[in-house]
Structures are given as structure tokens and as C-alpha cells.
Amino acid sequence: MDFYRSHVLVCGGTGCTSSGAVSIEEMFNTQLQAKGLEKEVKVVRTGCFGLCEAGPICIVYPEGSFYSRVELKDVERIVDEHLLKGRIVKDLLFVDKAANVTDIATSINDVTFYKKQKRVVLRNCGVINPEVIEEYIAFDGYKALGKALTEMTPTDVVNIMKKSGLRGRGGGGFPTGLKWEFTQKAVGDIKYVACNADEGDPGAFMDRSVLEGDPHAIIEAMAIAGYAIGAEKGYVYIRAEYPIAVKRLGIAIGQAKELGLLGQDIFGTGFNFDLEIRLGAGAFVCGEETALIASIEGERGMPRPKPPFPAQKGIFGKPTLINNVETYAVVAQIILNGAEWFTAMGTEKSPGTKVFALGGKINNTGLVEIPMGTPLREVIYDIGGGIPNGKAFKAVQTGGPSGGCITAEHLDTKIDFDTLTALGSMMGSGGMIVVDEDNCMVDFARFFLDFTVDESCGKCVPCREGTKRMLEILNKITSGTGTLKDLDTLEELAYAIKDSALCGLGQTAPNPVLSTMKYFRDEYLAHVVDKKCPAGMCKDLLQVVIGDGCIGCTACKRVCPVDAITGEVKGVHVIDQSKCIKCGACIPKCPKKVIVKQ
């Protein structure tokens, strides 16, 4: 076994990889070899660290020095100064943007983004090399599977899952233990276990990051589930747009088979279990479990009426257990640590933690894992670092296209399944999109509905036709041709679709519209009655004008892409509204700040 005095952990998640992390890793190895340090320092490619906004990220241990936005030119300095001379390169360290904090974080332990979290699902992400099974085993990997197979009966496993109170993290929050029990008791000579890794919500990447950073956690959990319900075969349904996750999951399955942790007679107990990856084509509707089943079977991914539920009739007509990635990711920890350990986190009705993909108008975009019941304000301002450029928080959309918005008046809301539902939103898979004062909430709702219309499978009339009619009305409103009657029709359609669509995705499609109409009705009225967009986002409802105080510097004229601005040097300039495309390029160029949207 080789021993190293230092380890350089380089983020290998999709975000950092797209920013050049692979080249940075290669440069570290090149520089270490050039300095003769290759036997003293090891470079490790990990999964996502979570703080995506700061990528590419490199952490040097044992100090825990958190280097952010690392470029190729920075690598030699880190090797020369830190790894060779023992001097931390402070100007490359992460600057904490959390509320009331402007410090340089000399260690990852100093970063508020991490201090406020409780990492259970993400415990190994950014810590181990996901392509080396021995590193997972070193962190108690497959110990829970061994315990389940040698010390517990299948009913014991189901009972501990029921006692834990774990609720499905894929959207609806159905009790996981009950789902396992229903499938265990279902009559069938063949049963299946499935993992929903489709994750189609805009801005959501929780499941992807877990599979990229800790794929063995899902494999182990699915094997445990197979033992509990009496299944010998499992499917991981993952979208093909996740190439890194697909590759690492495939490597992990191969390694588990080589060590006898998948396949025949696992741990000499006579239990057999194998896994197969099925790639999805990126259809949002395949996140719905019956559509996912159809896709696995080779059919077009379209929902089926329920009942029968998958626990009674699922893949190939056999009883099937389906959970999403995040739900499986905590199973082994519950088996090892006990149900009481899990229920000690979170709230009574929503125990444990939840992972959110924090994005939009927020300083610290990335993955956060918090105990259920954490106030939204803490997520936005402490972990998320607040809103960029001193702008005011306006709302956060949770649950993606199926969810709703939470406004500034609800910032002290404690996040759990029931509280979000009471506010007209939902937990969903965990997308959390923040908007500020510059966002138009009518256009925001239109964006999500446009996505739903595009992704509808078309099987049922309410979703196929109803959402299109809703989108047409929203397009009228944002273009300035909407009427008060349109608002009534929009609301009426929304409730009709909720009551009549075939699947959960269709039933929740109107949520962003209903939520924004509830909390921001004044904006809808401004669009319809005053023909104005208060946020200045809807181009058909605004003008870009040059106000009093123009000094004729020509800065605006030089950047206008359509030559809509006229005026002589030192003379007052004017914007020709017939030519203006309302791009706003001229606004930040004006030294006197007299160009405005109105």
C-alpha cells in the first residue's frame, strides 16, 4: 500500500469537468512529476463538492485548503508554494459570500456553505474516488448489505425502513417503508427493483451528482431492497444526457460483480442479485413511474392508469419497487445506524435530510443538503450567500415545473414536505430556483409551462390540450394583448387540468401558474390592465428610453446592435422605438445612468 503525505482532490463532477477540471488534474500530475513529488502527493478525481459556483475546485489535504476557480496557470503555483514549500496560496482560496461573512476560507471547514449543512446523502461526494470500489468500502461500503444478509430477515429490513419514516425523495414523499412492504407482500414468482435516475426537472442535478460521486451507495441499497422484497434483478433507469454518471455507474457495477457483491450467492448467503442500466432518451414524463416502466420494457414512455400500482404490476407485469436515487442513497446508512439515528434529524413527519439543487439568482449555486425543517432564510442567505449585486429576494420556485413559488414573506418557513404543500408548492425532487426583483413572475410561470407543454407525452387530453391553451393565454398576457377574462379562463383551466390529467406530472403542471397568480396577482393585473411589465422583462410591454441628462458621449450608440440610437457628439441622443429590439445593451454603458426600461 502506498502512503502519501498530501492528497489533492480535484472535483470531477459535470460542472467542474465542463470548466476544465480534467486538464487541471492532468497538469497537477505533470507538475508533481516535474518536481519529483509524485510519490509524496496523490491526485484524486472525486465527485461533485457541491459548491458549483466556485468551480473548478481543488482541495489539498491534510490542511483542507479550498482552492476555487482554479485555472491551468494556477496549478504550478499551488505545487511550488503549497505542496513543495508548505505555503498556502491565499489569493486562490475561496472567498466566503455567506451573510455577514467576507472572509477568505483557509480550510473547507471554514466555509459557511458547508458548516450549515448535514451531509448524509452526499457524505462521500467529493471525498472518495467513485471509480475505486476500495475507497467506498473503506467508508463502510457494503457493510450494510452484509449486515442485512447475515443478521436480518427481509421483514426486519422492511420494518427498519418503516420505522425510519423515510419518505420518497422523488416528489410525492410517499413513505418508503410502506412501498417496500407492499412490494414484499405482493404475489409473484419474479419481482424487480428499479431506480428512477431520470431527473428531468429544469435546474435539478441532485441524482446526477450522487451517481457521479458515490455510485456504489445506490448499488448497495438496491441489493438490500432486492433482498427485502424478494427480487433478483434490478434496473437503473438513467437519462443518456448524464454521460459521466452512466460511465461511473457502469464501472461500479462491474467492480461489484468482480468482488462478488453483485451476482450469485452474495456473501455466501444464497442471495442472488444483479443490476442492469437502461438509458432514457431524456423525456421528462419518464420520471413518472409507470412511464418509466413502459420505457424499460421498450415501449414509448407514457403513463398508465393506476391502480394497479407498480408494487402489484410493474416491469413486465411483475411486482416492482421503484425509488429514486436520493431515496436509495440513505438506505445503507439507516441499516447501519438504526432508525432512531435517522429520525433524530429533520422533523417528526419529515425525518432525515433533503438535497436541493440551488440555482438562479443566488451567490452560491450548487448542491446543498440540509435537515428537514431548516428555515428557508438560512438556505438562501447563509448557505446560498444571498442574492447577487445587492438585489432583493423575490421568490424561490421549489419542485420544478410541478412546484410553486415561495415568497419573501415566507422566508422563515421551515422546509419539509407538508409545509411546502400548504404554501401551494411541493418538495419535488429538489430543484430550488431563486428569483430576484428583476424577474417577471408572469414570464417565470410561462417558462415552466412552456417546458411542460413541450414535454407532455400527449396521452391525455387535459395535459396535451389544456396546457397548450394555458400557454397561449400566458403568451397573450406577456405580449400585451391579454384581458381580465383571460385571467379567469387561465385559472379555470388550471384547476380543471389538476383534477383530470392522467398522471402526477399533468396534474401538477398548472402549479407554477396558480402559485404566481396567488402571490403575484398584481403583476398579472399590471400586464393586462396597465399593459406594463413591472420587472421590465416582457419586451412587448416595455420601451428603452434615454431620459434627461444625456451628455452625448455616444457610448450607448456604439454598442447598439441595430443602430437604433441617433445623436451627435455632445448632443442629446434618441432611441428609435421602431428599430429598438430592447436588448438593454446600452443601459450599463451610460455613464450618467439615464437610459432606463419603462
pLDDT tens profile 389-414:
999 999 999 988 888 899 999 999 99
Side-chain half-sphere exposure of 257, counting CA atoms within 13 A: 11
* DSSP per-residue letters across 12-46: -SHHHHHTTHHHHHHHHHHHHHHTT-TTTEEEEEE
Contact 402, 420 (CB under 8 A): no
For the cut 70, the answer to whether the pLDDT of residue 98 exceeds it is no
- Per-residue confidence (pLDDT) for residue 97, from 0 to 100: 67
DSSP letter at 81 equals I
Helix (H, G, I), strand (E, B) or coil at 95: strand
Is the model more confident about 186 or about 597? 186
**Which residues are bridge partners to 11 per DSSP?**
46
- Mean pLDDT for 175-181 is 97
pLDDT in tens, 476-505: 999 999 999 999 999 999 999 999 999 988
- Per-residue confidence (pLDDT) for residue 103, from 0 to 100: 60
- Per-residue confidence (pLDDT) for residue 309, from 0 to 100: 95
Contact 206, 327 (CB under 8 A): no
For the cut 80, the answer to whether the pLDDT of residue 590 exceeds it is yes
DSSP letter at 261 equals S
- Mean pLDDT for 323-329 is 97
Q: What distance in Å separates the CA atoms of residue 240 and residue 245, rounded to the nearest whole number? A: 9
The three three-digit cell numbers of residue 122, written as one number = 452526499
**Which residues are bridge partners to 60 per DSSP?**
8, 65
- Per-residue confidence (pLDDT) for residue 412, from 0 to 100: 93
For the cut 70, the answer to whether the pLDDT of residue 100 exceeds it is no
Residue 493's closest CA among 464, 531, 459, 533?
464
Q: What distance in Å separates the CA atoms of residue 499 and residue 496, rounded to the nearest whole number? A: 5
Query: Residue 259: phi, psi to the nearest 5?
Result: -95, 5
- Per-residue confidence (pLDDT) for residue 1, from 0 to 100: 58
Which pLDDT band, with edges at 50, 70 and 90, does 423 fall under? confident
- Per-residue confidence (pLDDT) for residue 582, from 0 to 100: 87
Is the model more confident about 361 or about 171? 361
DSSP letter at 436 equals E
- Per-residue confidence (pLDDT) for residue 134, from 0 to 100: 97
Q: What distance in Å separates the CA atoms of residue 517 and residue 419, rounded to the nearest whole number? A: 19
The three three-digit cell numbers of residue 124, written as one number = 462521500
Strands 271-280 and 263-266: antiparallel
For the cut 60, the answer to whether the pLDDT of residue 294 exceeds it is yes
Q: Which residues contact 527 (CB under 8 A, 6 or more apart)?
A: 442, 477, 478, 480, 482, 533, 538, 541
Length of the chain: 598
The three three-digit cell numbers of residue 357, written as one number = 439543487
Domains and CATH numbers, the chain: 6-112 (3.40.30.10), 133-341 (3.40.50.11540), 353-436 (3.10.20.600), 441-530 (1.20.1440.230), 543-597 (3.30.70.20)
The pLDDT mean for the chain works out to 94
Minimum mean pLDDT range among 104-118, 233-247, 509-523: 104-118
- Per-residue confidence (pLDDT) for residue 102, from 0 to 100: 55
- Per-residue confidence (pLDDT) for residue 400, from 0 to 100: 83
- Per-residue confidence (pLDDT) for residue 426, from 0 to 100: 85
- Mean pLDDT for 565-574 is 93
- Per-residue confidence (pLDDT) for residue 522, from 0 to 100: 96
Q: How many CB atoms are located within 10 Å of the residue 329 CB? A: 27
Q: How many CB atoms are located within 10 Å of the residue 468 CB? A: 14
C-alpha torsion sign, points 97, 99, 101, 105: negative
Q: How many CB atoms are located within 10 Å of the residue 90 CB? A: 10
**Which residues are bridge partners to 597 per DSSP?**
544
Contact 47, 212 (CB under 8 A): yes
- Mean pLDDT for 415-428 is 87
Name the region of 552 (left: φ>0; alpha: ψ -120 to 50; beta: rest). Answer: left
- Per-residue confidence (pLDDT) for residue 370, from 0 to 100: 96
- Per-residue confidence (pLDDT) for residue 110, from 0 to 100: 84
- Mean pLDDT for 567-577 is 92
C-alpha torsion sign, points 353, 359, 360, 363: positive
pLDDT in tens, 16-25: 999 999 999 9
Query: Residue 314: phi, psi to the nearest 5?
Result: -120, -120
pTM of the entire predicted model: 0.92
Residue 431's closest CA among 212, 239, 205?
205
Q: Which residues contact 84 (CB under 8 A, 6 or more apart)?
A: 35, 37
Element (H, E) at 513: helix 511-519
